[in-house]
Amino acid sequence: MNTTAATSAGNGTATRTGAGTHAAAAGTAGARTVQDRASRGDTDGAAKGDTDGAPGTGNDENGAAAPQDAEALIAGERVRIDQLDARIIWLVRERLELSENIQRIRIESGGRRVHLSREMEILDHYSTELGRPGRDLAMTLLGLCRGQ
Ligand SMILES: C=C(O[C@@H]1C=C(C(=O)O)C=C[C@H]1O)C(=O)O
């Protein structure tokens, strides 16, 4: 058995390097949303677009940030999206490794690579959580994990 995957499955310890760093980086971000940051005045030049008489918000009467503030906020949020994407890719690779181990064990003991009822469970789970696009995502993941 692949001990790396077994360790990960057994105690939840991440064995690939990198994910912890990403998790820590994303997990410690204090302001979770653009709105959070805007409401904390966490933006350069916040007062520039402040036309609604509410000092320090940096927003106009519709709650929109001034263009230069919006650009800075978007750039900051994109950093967080890139961090999340790196974690997602790491998790997909971890899933692939575990799935390959299971498939190999089953094939070596005389079974088949694919287990349809298990795949149905997974499709239902993603579909319940995320709707049709979630089901499509699960199909993509399953295809990736069984090499099809
Ligand atoms: C990993 C397994 O083997 C295959 C791969 C699956 C997966 O990647 O989730 C699910 C079912 C099987 O087709 C399993 O049976 O659990």
CB within 8 Å of 66: residues ≥ 6 apart = 45, 48, 49, 58, 59, 60
pLDDT for the residue 61: 83
Q: What's the pLDDT at 32?
A: 47
- CB distance 76 to 26 below 8 Å: no
Q: Where do the structural domains in the chain lie, given as residue ranges?
A: 17-111, 114-148
Q: Which amino acid is at 56?
A: G
What's the rounded Cα separation, in Å, for the pair 28 and 140?
31
Determine phi and psi for 19, rounding to 5 degrees: -65, -40
What pLDDT does residue 58 have? 64
Cα 129 to averaged position of ligand 1 atoms, centre (Å): 19
Mutate to test the pocket of ligand 1, among 96, 119, 137, 139 (most ligand atoms within 8 A of CB): 119
- The pLDDT value recorded for residue 56 is 54
Q: For atom 1 of ligand 1, which residue has the closest CA?
A: 99
Q: Which residues pair with 65 in a beta bridge?
A: 59
Q: How far, in Å, is the centroid of ligand 1 from the Cα of 68?
A: 48
Interior CA angle at 33 toward 28 and 38, to 5°?
110
Which regions of the chain are under pLDDT 70? 1-58, 148
Q: What is the pLDDT of residue 63?
A: 81
Q: What's the CA-to-centroid distance between 54 and ligand 1, angstroms?
A: 56
Torsion, Cα 20 24 25 28, to 10 degrees, reads 170
Report, in angstroms and rounded to the nearest whole number, the Rg of the chain calculated over CA atoms: 22
